[in-house]
Structure 1
Amino acid sequence: MAIAGKWTYRSYLNNPELVDGNAQTALSLIFGEGVFTFETPTPETIIGTLDMGGGYVLDLKGKIIGDCDGPVTLVIDGYGRDGTPTAGWEYDYHAWPGYEWPDAVDQVPSLLGTTVRAKPHNGEPAGVTASFIAVRQ
């Protein structure tokens, strides 16, 4: 699977409680949303951004473990930008390509993973985790 390009990103708090059809409860589980833009300067490296809108951008850099002929793991660090609302932020991401069904109809490539707040910011502690899904745009 090609990784370079734009991916719609949504992360969710890892709350095991059912939402029982309550749309507001379901929406409250969204931890973050934005657009990953990835470049792969080499087969082993990934760089890019996570743009959450309104000046909230993380610069991304990481590595691709594995190759296109087998399963790959993305290990990415995200850093806030000085002078922006994300200054001092740091998040780590691990992701894997979603399974591509051989008989799927119009399946959109996906990345599935987890993220952790690596450094505290805005009064929120480090260590908060969320699961995420990213789908190719």
Structure 2
Amino acid sequence: MSFQLQGRWTYRSYRNDAALVAGNEQKALQDIFGEGIFTLAVSNGKVTGALDMGSGYVLDLSGPVVPVSGGEVQIAFTIIGTGRSGTPTAGWEYDYHGTDAFTWPKGIDQVPAIVGSVLRAKPHNGSPAGYVASFIAIKRA
């Protein structure tokens, strides 16, 4: 079965903080860098869509999808997320690189997931460009 990138995904990115949460719920919440819904469409080797983070925070997404052969990963993608004009994200730019998560041959009811990293490509709201976080997106039913 081939991996299907198209669809809706629950997206969360995490600060790359190696400190254990150790049951501290506040620390766990502080480790979340961002979350929202990826809505992705794939056509002719290109992915387009949006990351909707709620309250008018939206990035428009576009980039290539590369089929990967001879390994456990089936796809790889690079997406540029640009802030939408007229929204609080106007002028933002984030770059995403991801792959499908490993599908366990003996896994039971495994939900498709994509994993990767995100780079703040342009500074905004006093935060500098260059910050990197990890992300996971889980396929929505």
**TM bracket (short chain):** over 0.9
1:80 aligns with 2:120: no
* Distance in structure 2 (CA, Å) of the matches to 1:69 and 1:3: 19
Deviation string, structure 1 residues 59-85 (Cα, Å, up to 9, x no partner): 000001125886321100000011110
C-alpha deviation, 1:102, in angstroms: 1.1
Q: Where in structure 2 are the equivalents of 1:121-132 lying within 5 Å?
A: 121-132=124-135
1:7 aligns with 2:9: yes
**Seq. identity, %:** 54
Q: Which runs of 4+ in 1 moved over 3 A?
A: 67-70
Select which of 18, 28, 31 maps to 1:29. 31
Select which of 35, 38, 41 maps to 1:39. 41
Number of equivalenced pairs = 136
Structure 2: any 5+ residue segments left out of the alignment?
none
Structure 1: any 5+ residue segments left out of the alignment?
none
Deviation string, structure 1 residues 30-83 (Cα, Å, up to 9, x no partner): 0000000000121x1100000000000000000011258863211000000111
The equivalent residue for 2:121 is: 118
